[in-house]
């Protein structure tokens, strides 16, 4: 679980994280109890910008320079709303007290043309593995359960 402390009149919250993410976070150098140990928000922005610029040069991809830190919040809010269709859930995830703030970050996008990976489960164990891998249940046909996940 990841505990997010409140800032600027937001709500605190605890979110589940994958074991893969936890393992990656634990590999980071630890100078104090915080994962991203910046003294203040401006220092954190500066570090992010510096890392982004280095990655842009290393990968020779100038489009990476266009990614601001707030873009991650927009992406998470949009994808979470698309997945759940629950704006109050998104509001809780973002930690906002007012719905109007949540709507700024949630973009209502038409995903109908997107591509999917489809899988078939023949048993409960297979269905469980697909759900754990992020697939969503679609329907059942001829005793087989059909699942899909966005590419």
pLDDT at 140 over 80: yes
User: Is residue 127, in this structure, part of any structural domain at all?
Assistant: yes
The angle, 0 to 180 degrees and rounded to 10, between the axes of the packed helices 87-94 and 70-84 is 150
Q: What is the pLDDT of residues 72-127, one digit of tens each?
A: 888 888 888 888 888 898 888 888 888 888 888 887 655 566 678 899 999 999 99
Q: Which of 97, 90, 69, 83 is nearest to 150 (CA)?
A: 83
User: Is residue 30, in this structure, part of any structural domain at all?
Assistant: no
Query: Which pLDDT does position 38 carry in this prediction?
Result: 58
* Domain containing residue 135: 116-150
Query: Which pLDDT does position 67 carry in this prediction?
Result: 86
Query: Which pLDDT does position 59 carry in this prediction?
Result: 92
User: Is residue 47, in this structure, part of any structural domain at all?
Assistant: no
Strands in 136-141's sheet, in edge-to-edge order, are 116-121, 144-150, 136-141
Does the predicted model carry a pTM greater than 0.85? no
Query: Mean pLDDT of all residues in the chain?
Result: 82
User: Is residue 146, in this structure, part of any structural domain at all?
Assistant: yes
Average pLDDT over residues 16-39: 75
CA 87 to chain centre: 15
Average pLDDT over residues 65-69: 83
User: Is residue 125, in this structure, part of any structural domain at all?
Assistant: yes
**Residue bearing the bigger pLDDT, 3 or 24:** 24
Query: Which pLDDT does position 147 carry in this prediction?
Result: 93
Count the domains in the chain.
Answer: 1
**Residue bearing the bigger pLDDT, 30 or 111:** 30
**Residue bearing the bigger pLDDT, 39 or 72:** 72
User: Is residue 59, in this structure, part of any structural domain at all?
Assistant: no
Which structure tokens are listed for 102? 């949540």
Which structure tokens are listed for 16? 């589940």
User: Is residue 136, in this structure, part of any structural domain at all?
Assistant: yes
């Amino acid at each position: 679980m990841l505990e997010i402390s409140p800032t600027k009149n937001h709500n605190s919250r605890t979110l589940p994280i994958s074991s893969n993410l936890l393992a990656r976070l634990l590999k980071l150098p630890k100078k104090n109890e915080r994962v991203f140990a910046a003294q203040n928000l401006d220092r954190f922005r500066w570090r992010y910008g510096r890392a982004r610029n280095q990655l842009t040069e290393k990968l020779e991809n100038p489009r990476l320079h266009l990614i601001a830190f707030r873009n991650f919040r927009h992406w998470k809010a949009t994808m979470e709303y698309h997945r759940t269709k629950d704006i109050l859930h998104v509001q809780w995830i973002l930690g906002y007290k007012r719905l109007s703030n949540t709507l700024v970050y949630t973009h209502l996008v038409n995903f109908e043309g997107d591509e999917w990976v489809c899988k078939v489960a023949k048993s409960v164990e297979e269905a469980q593995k697909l759900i754990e891998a992020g697939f969503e249940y679609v329907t059942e046909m001829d005793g087989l359960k059909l699942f899909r996940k966005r590419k």
